[in-house]
Amino acid sequence: MTKQSMFEGKFRRRRECKTDYRKRLAMVKSGKPRLIARKTDRYIMAQVVNYAPKGDVVAAGANSRELEKFGWPFGKKNLSAAYLTGMLVAQRAKEKGISEAIFDLGLQANAHGARIFAVLKGALDAGMKIPHDAEVIPKAERIGGKHVGDYAKAHPNSKQQFSEYAKKKISAENIPAAFENAKKRITGNGGEQK
């Protein structure tokens, strides 16, 4: 007589701690697209994804690497870059007829004011309808980089903190102006600058 194992293994992505299937099922049941925001060590990525039985279909995507085309020469992983990435992905989603979504932050920690929620704020300001709690969104001054610009003005000798910007021959004092300029260029035509 053969013995059968009663143990049933978990899905591969669950074993690798990449997917919470309970949360995913709840989002998929809604029938709405998901705005997915992820951060890496160097960049912020955002996608608007539709469910399909054979695998999710990406309707629109944006990466903070693309922000240079829109006049953003500063860091690609800060709050400002996250906001601009969210705005860019929302513009691209609207071009494809998607105006509402559900925010999917995956297995990332739900820390109020985090970069991931700056992506959400960017998408909201670009006109997408996404259910959210206003408490999680970072303050507008921080998103716009005003605090960094003020610090750079108050401490002109802090060259070590802004050494990457010095190599590019740009000043941290210009972050708020560059942020507003990039924001206008993204919303101006919704496409890429040549």
User: Does 7 score more than 80 pLDDT?
Assistant: no
The answer to whether the beta carbons of residues 95 and 105 sit under 8 Å apart is no
Report d(CA 82, CA 63) in Å as an integer: 9
Q: Model's pTM, two decimal places?
A: 0.87
In Å, what is the CA distance from 48 to each residue of 22, 60, 86, 123, 190? Answer: 20, 5, 10, 10, 15
Mean pLDDT to the nearest integer, 107-129: 93
Helices 175-189 and 79-95 cross at an angle (nearest 10°) of 10
Pairing of strands 57-63, 102-104: unpaired
Mean pLDDT to the nearest integer, 82-92: 97
The tokens 């903190």 sit on which residue?
161
pLDDT of residue 189: 52
| Domains of the chain as residue ranges with CATH | 16-189 (3.30.420.100)
User: Does 85 score more than 90 pLDDT?
Assistant: yes
